Structure 1
Amino acid sequence: MPTQKRVGRIEGVLLPLLLVVLMIVAAVTVAFARHFGWWLRPLASEHGAAIDRLFVITLVITGLVFILVQSLLALFVFRYRGENGRRAIFYPDNPRLEITWTVIPAVILTALIVSGGRLWSRIQLTPPPPDAFAVEVWGQQFKWAIRYPGKDGKFGRTDMRLIRGDNPLGIDTKDPASKDDIFFPAGEGELHIPVGKPVVIYLRSKDVIHSFYVPQFRVKQDAVPGMVTRIWFVPTKKGTFEIACAELCGQGHYTMRGVLIVEDEAKVREWLAQQSTVADLIP
């Protein structure tokens, strides 16, 4: 019995120290996250600011709760550690305290969920402007294919039964709208979009579920076989960015990368004018 009491006293000191160390490590990690590159990528889209703001608010609230809970746990473990002559206190319940620590977290979580839902709806459910720059991106193990609608602004029809070597997207050449489409087979092209202008990306998949992800734009949208999904945003910075696949899509998932270039709209139009169309490439 004396040995057990001694062990209890030791544990009553070591566990609070461990909790304090844990809180210090967590605080230092968050404080130096940006310095070591562990933070969010530099923002490059309009809607991303709202996402970052909600992320920081959530992190601050959960961080404060973490510190409060761990501090109380450390205090109680140390304060009520095993000692000679100490007897356990019979404390059946405290309805007022229990209601308080139930209602307050419920209100905070509800507010965060509602805020997140409103932001998600604004990003996902709001239709893009009519003059948005449109482009279609296809996921295919383990590369991205790209199609632009051409001067008429319309995508031609596609049919999986028309896929062959020189027509990897199954574009229906009998559709007049497809004649001026510009496409790049999987892994053979770059995605060029204009800065400061709404861009809508239509996503499709030829095989399994992929996920179009550009962290600087705070954009992530699944490409699902058999359906067309959509994401739109307004890029605010020029530069070259990496398109990643954020959905495990097979053994070569880690190699599924693409290049996205944001530049002036005039340069994008000039670049598109230099590309071959469906009429040039598919007989």
Structure 2
Amino acid sequence: MTSLSHAAADILASWWLPVDASAHGPALDRHLLLNLWIILGLATLAHILLVTGLILRRASEPRSLWRLEYLPLAAFAILFAALAVKAERLWAATRYTGASPSALQVEVTGMQFAWYFRYPGTDAIFGVTRPQLASPAEGNPVGIDPIDPHGADDIVTSELVLPANREVDLRLRAEDVIHGFSIPELRLKQNAVPGDTIHIHFTPTVPGTYAILCTQLCGLGHYRMNATLRIVSQEEYVAWLAQRQKAVQP
């Protein structure tokens, strides 16, 4: 049964869903497929019950039909509750369980109308940021405080580059309004809220280039608020990071 569900999920993905490029994605796709099959089955069953009820009502007393009417409704309610709990647990796995200590730390900042990505430097510590210092035109889009020595080696880019098969802990922030951070191929979607830092963790698995979208209507320039994610090999990531570190060295 498990192999059949996996095969069905692969067929669904090849027809309608984008490529699955994260470790947690297959479980979400299988749950989506399960929901679709259940909806199809319930729609068929509902019509059967409707026709059966109409036929039996003509030949029986209304009081004798309560099992046909109320028992299915109770079963549907229990089924929907179970599906909701499972979906909540799948989503919480990237949101509330917490990343491992060895996870790659990356900060994501959304602002009208761009995404910026910050990596800690060789000291592995993010520098302090102040919103009043944020100025993309001056080369400081996330507002790193120049007084804080930990921020001197921080790397800020407009492209998210991640190594394949390594857990990543993203810290989502927003400078102005709520922005929706979304990468469909990684099955990720989480709002970035001003004044709050929200963590999501995942493991990218399939090297490639993917679009990062904003799914919240954040202003007139919402249509152009997008960025690029590149998933590369560990060797390519190390080389890219070394090149970026040279660029920030005084």
Q: TM-score scaled by structure 1? A: 0.75
CA gap 1:76/1:110 in 2 versus in 1, 3 angstroms: closer
Runs of at least 5 residues in structure 2 that lack an aligned partner in the other structure:
1-10
Counterpart of 2:231, as a letter, is: V
3-state secondary structure, aligned to 1:258? strand
Runs of at least 5 residues in structure 1 that lack an aligned partner in the other structure:
1-31, 81-87
The answer as to 2:177 corresponding to 1:208 is yes
Counterpart of 2:39, as a letter, is: T
CA gap 1:249/1:272 in 2 versus in 1, 3 angstroms: same
1:179 touches 1:277 (CA, 8 Å); kept in 2?
A: no
Q: Distance in 2 between matches of 1:230 and 1:149?
A: 16
3-state secondary structure, aligned to 1:192? strand
CA gap 1:261/1:131 in 2 versus in 1, 3 angstroms: same
Deviations 1:17-64 (A, max 9, x none): xxxxxxxxxxxxxxx9767x5x22111111111111111111111111
Q: Distance in 1 between matches of 2:232 and 2:98?
A: 24
Q: Distance in 2 between matches of 1:240 and 1:120?
A: 24
1:212 touches 1:246 (CA, 8 Å); kept in 2?
A: yes
3-state secondary structure, aligned to 2:206? coil
- The 5 A counterparts of 1:10-159 are 39-70=16-47, 73=50, 91-93=61-63, 94-159=65-130
Counterpart of 2:62, as a letter, is: P
1:180 touches 1:278 (CA, 8 Å); kept in 2?
A: yes
Q: Distance in 2 between matches of 1:95 and 1:47?
A: 43
Match of 2:147 in 1: 174
CA gap 1:251/1:163 in 2 versus in 1, 3 angstroms: closer
Deviations 1:172-194 (A, max 9, x none): 1211211110113xxxx311100
Match of 1:269 in 2: 238
Q: Distance in 2 between matches of 1:156 and 1:98?
A: 62
3-state secondary structure, aligned to 1:57? helix
Deviations 1:60-102 (A, max 9, x none): 111111122245557888x79xxxxxxx778533332233122
The answer as to 2:224 corresponding to 1:251 is no
Q: Distance in 2 between matches of 1:107 and 1:216?
A: 31
Match of 1:183 in 2: 156
Counterpart of 2:155, as a letter, is: I
1:140 touches 1:207 (CA, 8 Å); kept in 2?
A: yes
Q: TM-score scaled by structure 2? A: 0.84
3-state secondary structure, aligned to 1:197? coil
Which has the larger Rg? 1
